């Protein structure tokens, strides 16, 4: 598996990246982090190097990402790379049932196009304007998956 860095995304012009807690992150409960163990590997997080632990990333939807932050994040151990979904809505089918998987893939093909043919792959689309959580907008521009790393939040390290 190719290992991508935050810098790779930045250099490709993708500025909506955010660090995701590693699945095996040690959560800093003493610091007050309320991250549940089942959310490790799924939600934005920050690494605390002095404590060698992780906490949730408060305000991650509003933070202005800078190249300096990207450099710092690339130094964090095993940080996953996520895309903020306001401009990058996507799909990720983690389904073990063949019947359910077929239904979800058929839905994705109908709704987003043929690029979502592989149920094991993550799909991604780009939006000119941010999508609000409650909107049902369908005016997204397809991004060829070959132009981006195949996973939107891949394990590194």
Mean pLDDT of 46-60: 94
Q: Which residues are bridge partners to 83 per DSSP?
A: 17
16 dihedral zone (left: phi>0; alpha: psi -120 to 50; beta): alpha
Per-residue pLDDT at 155: 38
Say which residue, 92 or 81, is predicted with more confidence: 81
Say which residue, 56 or 155, is predicted with more confidence: 56
**What 3-state class would DSSP assign to 129?**
coil
Q: How confident is the model at residue 77 (pLDDT cuts 50, 70, 90)?
A: very high
Per-residue pLDDT at 101: 77
Residue 29's CB is within 10 A of a number of other CB atoms, namely 11
Say which residue, 105 or 84, is predicted with more confidence: 84
Residues 6+ apart with CB under 8 A from 140: 89, 112, 125, 126, 127
Report how far residue 47's alpha carbon sits from residue 88's, in angstroms, rounded to the nearest whole number: 24
Lowest mean pLDDT among 4-18, 91-105, 131-145: 131-145
Which pTM does this prediction carry? 0.65
Per-residue pLDDT at 22: 95
- Taking the domains of the chain in order of start, what are their residue ranges? 6-83, 90-147
Per-residue pLDDT at 4: 86
Q: Count how many Cα atoms sit within 13 Å of the Cα of residue 31 in the half-sphere of its side chain.
A: 17
**What 3-state class would DSSP assign to 64?**
coil
Per-residue pLDDT at 47: 97
Mean pLDDT for the chain?
76
Examine the pLDDT at 17 and tell me if it is beyond 50: yes
């Amino acid at each position: 598996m190719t290992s991508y860095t935050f810098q790779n995304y930045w250099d490709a012009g993708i500025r909506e990246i955010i660090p995701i807690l590693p699945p095996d992150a040690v959560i800093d409960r003493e610091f007050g982090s309320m991250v549940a163990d089942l959310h490790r590997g799924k939600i934005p997080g920050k690494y605390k190097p002095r404590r060698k632990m992780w906490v949730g990333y408060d305000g991650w939807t509003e933070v202005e990402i800078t190249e300096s932050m990207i450099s710092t994040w690339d130094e964090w151990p095993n940080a996953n790379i996520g895309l903020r979904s306001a401009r990058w809505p996507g799909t990720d089918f983690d389904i073990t049932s063949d019947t359910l998987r077929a239904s979800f893939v058929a839905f994705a093909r109908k709704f987003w196009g043929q690029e979502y043919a592989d149920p094991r792959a993550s799909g991604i689309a780009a939006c000119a304007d941010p999508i609000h959580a409650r909107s049902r907008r369908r005016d997204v521009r397809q991004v060829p998956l070959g132009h981006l790393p195949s996973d939107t939040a891949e394990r590194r390290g």
